[in-house]
Structure formats: C-alpha cells, structure tokens
Amino acid sequence: MADIFQIVEYEGDNNTFIWKSNIEDFNTGTQLIVHESQEAIFFMNGQALDLFGPGRHTVETQNIPLVRKFLSKSTNDQTPFHCEIYFINKTEQMSIKWGTDSQVQYMEPTYKFPLKIGVSGEMALRVSDSRKLLVKLVGTERSLGQAGLTQMFRAFLMARVKPYLAQTMQNSEFGIFEVDSHMDELSLALHKQLIPDFDDYGLSLERFFVTTIVKPDGDKAYESFKDIHIRQYADVANAQLRQKVGIIDQQTNAQKMVIESAAIAQKRAQEGYTYQSERGYDVAEKVAMNEGVGNYSSTGIGLGMMGGIAGGMGAVVAGITNDALNPLMSSLGSVKNNITTTNSSAIPEGSDDMVSFKQKVEKLKLMKEAGILSDEEFEEEKKKILSSL
C-alpha cells in the first residue's frame, strides 16, 4: 500500500533554490504537494515534462506496479521508466553577499587621474524561470542553495560587475570624493545593467546594493587630489562665512543707526526743536567765530541772518518762561554786536577778490542749508556779492 500511495513534497530549507525529492520512480497515483511560492518539475526518462504550481496533484506515470515488476526483470530489477521531481523555491532570497575579487581601475572623472577601488555589497535573487535555471545550472545535482549559487556566479559576477562599475564611475557626474553620498545612484545603475545577465539563467535580480567602496587611502596621487578637494570646498565655505558675517555686521550697523536716529529725533521732539533749527545754531556759531563776518555788512545780510535765527528761535522758545528766554536772547545780542563790530572793519587792502567771493558764497550756502535763507534769498545775496566785486 505504501508503494501505491506515495506522497512527494518539499523537504528543503528556505535558503535553497532547487531541491530534488528523494522519492523516485513512483507509481501512478502518487500525490504531489506543492506549497505556495514553489513550483515542481516532473522529469521522466531524463526529460522535463510537466511544471506544477501550488496545490495537490496526482501524478500519472507508466510505473504500474505489476508491469514495472515484470519489465524490471530484464534490467536487473531497475525500472526502465525513471521518474524524478524537482522543487523550485521561488521566494526572494535576500542578503546574498557579493564583492570584487580584485581592484577595479578607472579614470576619475573630476580630477582626471587613474584610480583603483574595491567594491562589495548585497543582492536579492528570485527564480523567474524554473525550467531554464534547472537545465542551465543544476543539471543532475540534488540541490542548489545560496552558497552554491554564489559560487557558481562568482566568476560570472566578476566578469560583469567590474566593467560595469568602471564605466559607471568614469561617466558619472560625481567623483570618488563624493561617491559615498551617491551610493543609491551607483547601485541603481549597476542593478539595471546586470538584470539581463541574470535573466539568461532564469533568475530575477530583485535588488542590488553597493554597501562598501574600498578607496586607495595612502596612495600618493589619491591623497594629493583629496587634499586639493578638501581645501577647495573649505575655501569656499570660509568665503561664504565671511560674506554672511559682513552682511550681519552691516545690518547691525544699519539697525544701530536707526536706533540712534530715533533717539535723537525723540530728544528733539521733547526739547522742542528740529534738525533745521540745530543746523541754524551751528551756522550762527561758525559765522560769529569767523573773522570775515564783517564782510556780510557790505552785502546787507549780516543782521538779516541773525534775524532769521532769531525768528527760528522765537518758534522754539514758545511757551518758555522769561527767565529761560532772557539768557538766550542776551547770547544772540552778543553775537549780533560781534557781527556789527566786525562789520565796521574794512576789507584788508591787497586781498584776493576771488577768494573773498568764494568764502562769502560758502557762508551763504551754509545759511541756505540751515534754512536761514531760501533759494530766492540765496540767489539774490549771491548777485549782490558779484555786483560788489
């Protein structure tokens, strides 16, 4: 009964790609159990006949017990109808290690110097064509696991990965000194190039990662260009930092000026005068201290200037008590007397008229800027000076 009702199912582990059942030459009616993510290939007389997917299947063969026993007499008790079942694990096999067995040489794209590197990483494989993988790689082997597949593909990988890596690195937009931040791009580029090569063997390269790049640390040329690269970016970073600091300083100074201006404006508002009045005081003080003030008497503007200042002061001191006003008016009277006294002195003989003219005009400009003279008054006084020459 055991001979008649045989059950064939997968008994390998999850790291195995292909496993051959120990039960062979089974009878018609044998039950084949195929689990999810598996396929089974039925071989008879050395030929792959049927492919079974997940489920329970009844296998029909020529191995009818009585006929088999009779026919096997002529073949030394070995059945002439040889049957086999291979199970294919179609789950994604991850964390399969790979790496170059020697350094890969290429021309560094940024600085144009020859460079040697080593590369390693991990990949994930899945069986995409069971029949193709079984025929091309397994043959008569009883099983094929990750270790066996990696060993079989070692030479194949080296023959493909090395030229792909050299071409990708040499034609990339990033150099060896930026490659660590571009691992994903490098992995995707190599993955795309390797997919057709694995497909030829019935395997799907699901993922391919570059995890380590061994650089030629200590090599003289490599270290020289590495130093240039670091200094280049360090200089740029320093220049940008200095620029940012300069901008901050300028903004600080501008803000300081705004704060100071606001404080002065508030002070003037509290004390009851304007910037124009302050300029008038400065001009009056300079005129009073200038020895050439007497020259204004000949143009008729000496007392007029003081009158303008006094008028401005009248607006400033509005509301101030007489005790505060008297000293200020006394001070203006002293300035006026000084101008009158100086006015009586004659222009020294032998002075240069042109120099005198320029001095008078400059003083007129000061009075104009201070708001003591309007534009029309300035032009009128300048004409008087010209007519006196």
Token look-up 């008649």 returns 4
Mean of pLDDT values over 198-205:
92
Could you read off the pLDDT of 301-321 as tens digits, one per residue? 444 444 444 444 444 444 444
Q: 135 versus 119: which is more confidently predicted?
A: 119
Q: How far apart are CA 237 and CA 289, in angstroms?
A: 57
The full DSSP string for 226-287 is: HHHHHHHHHHHHHHHHHHHHHHHHHHHHHHHHHHHHHHHHHHHHHHT--HHHHHHHHHHHHH
As a whole number, the mean pLDDT across the chain is 75
Tell me which of 37-46, 66-75, 140-149 is least confident: 66-75
Please return the burial class of 169, using the count of CB atoms within 10 Å of its CB with bins 0-12, 13-18 and 19+: buried
pLDDT band at 138 (very low <50, low <70, confident <90, very high): confident
pLDDT band at 237 (very low <50, low <70, confident <90, very high): low
Could you read off the pLDDT of 96-109 as tens digits, one per residue? 999 998 889 999 88
Alpha-carbon distances, residue 291 vs 96, 184, 288 (angstroms): 101, 85, 8
Residue 238 has phi, psi (to 5 degrees) of -65, -40
Could you read off the pLDDT of 44-57 as tens digits, one per residue? 777 888 889 999 99
Tell me which of 32-41, 136-145, 158-167 is least confident: 136-145
Could you read off the pLDDT of 183-193 as tens digits, one per residue? 999 999 999 99
Q: What is the pLDDT of residue 316?
A: 43
Could you read off the pLDDT of 316-336 as tens digits, one per residue? 444 444 444 454 445 444 444
Q: What is the pLDDT of residue 61?
A: 63
Closest CA to 229 of 243, 213, 215, 244: 215
